[in-house]
Amino acid sequence: MKLETFDLQIIDTHTHFYDPARPQGVPWPNQDDDFLYKRVMPENYKSLAVSQGVKGTVVVEASKWFEDNQWVLDLAEVDPFLVGLVGNIDIDSADFESNLSHLAENPLFRGIRLGGGALGNISDHTFLNRLGQLASLDLELDLLIDSSLLLLVDVISEKIPDLRIIINHIGHVPIDGQPPDKAWIEGMEIVAKRLNVFCKASGFVELTTDKPSSNELNYYRPTMDVLWNLFGVNRLVYGSNWPVSERYASYQNVQKLALRYFETKGSVAIEKVFWENSKEFYKWIDRH
């Protein structure tokens, strides 16, 4: 099966945009990061992605400033290529509920991302109630975690079964061309049984223990096979993690690695992983 034999639509579910030249600057990336600390806007991304068949992107807000959620939504208002935003809201803030309700009024706002540190509050009723608010608004939860926290994902999924959850960057397992870490496999086996838990097929080149990152599919295959066997055709979602990924590989090579793997699973898998599953999970807005 050749990719050219059908019209492939790709929705990239993990990009970041920011502008350090703004009067207030940016909280991320750090200004001592010579690679990332530069103006990164939708036009920069589209110059790389459109020629690769990408029809739109879900933006993930890395800034911890609440007002920067609106900054991305303002970009999206004038650019239909941006089909959704995963926001960044401090879940411990007294204003969380009102902030979430306010952003949810915009149909392009699709949910929030939390880092692993936030999950330390999992026994707190307020924390769980706030995650429940996400579910009640039909919003999703991105999680930026490693294997040590996968069991907490299972707890959240059990307590809030109607909350859609996606693990970012395959749970940050190191990739070295060999079978992946056993603790990661065991954690993924547990959470994959929860049908409301998805996994983002992203971060592969960033996670390699060898630098520069390999371009050989077989180097990544042992890890990809575990993901495929656990999450299957319906719960894997493609994301590039651009521009972070570009530190390790070109945009074209990042996408090509994923396409080369999933094309071996057939045309249905390609359609599912590269746009249909993200539509089901994020419920992004088709703006074309």
Q: Please state the domain extents for the chain.
A: 7-282
Q: Do the beta carbons of residue 70 and residue 99 sit within 8 Å?
A: no
- What confidence score (pLDDT) does residue 8 get? 85
Q: What's the CA gap between 17 and 71, in Å, rounded?
A: 10
- Give the global pTM: 0.96
- What confidence score (pLDDT) does residue 121 get? 84
Q: What's the rounded mean pLDDT across residues 122-132?
A: 93
3-state DSSP call for residue 82?
A: strand
Q: Do the beta carbons of residue 131 and residue 156 sit within 8 Å?
A: yes
Is cis: bond before 27, omega within 30 of 0?
no
Instruction: Supply the DSSP string of 233-267, one letter for each residue.
Output: TTSEEE---BTGGGGTS-HHHHHHHHHHHHGGG-H
Q: What's the CA gap between 4 and 29, in Å, rounded?
A: 37
Q: How many CB atoms sit inside 10 A of residue 267's CB? A: 15
Model confidence band, residue 223 (pLDDT cutoffs 50, 70, 90): very high
Q: Which residues contact 213 (CB under 8 A, 6 or more apart)?
A: 204, 205, 206, 248, 249
Poorest-confidence range of 6-10, 50-54, 74-78, 93-97?
6-10
Fold type of domain 7-282: TIM Barrel (3.20.20)
- What confidence score (pLDDT) does residue 182 get? 97
The total number of residues written for the chain in this structure: 288
- What confidence score (pLDDT) does residue 6 get? 45
Q: How many CB atoms sit inside 10 A of residue 140's CB? A: 22
Closest to 93 (Cα-Cα) out of 61, 118, 116, 74: 118
Say which residue the tokens 């690695």 belong to: 257
Model confidence band, residue 120 (pLDDT cutoffs 50, 70, 90): confident
pLDDT tens across 84-118, in order?
999 999 999 999 999 999 999 999 999 999 999 99
pLDDT at 167 over 90: yes
Q: What's the rounded mean pLDDT across residues 25-41?
A: 97
- What confidence score (pLDDT) does residue 3 get? 47
Q: Mean pLDDT for the chain?
A: 96
pLDDT tens across 52-61, in order?
999 999 999 9
Q: How many CB atoms sit inside 10 A of residue 55's CB? A: 18
Q: What's the rounded mean pLDDT across residues 202-221?
A: 97
Q: What's the CA gap between 153 and 190, in Å, rounded?
A: 9
CA atoms within 13 A on the CB side of 58: 33
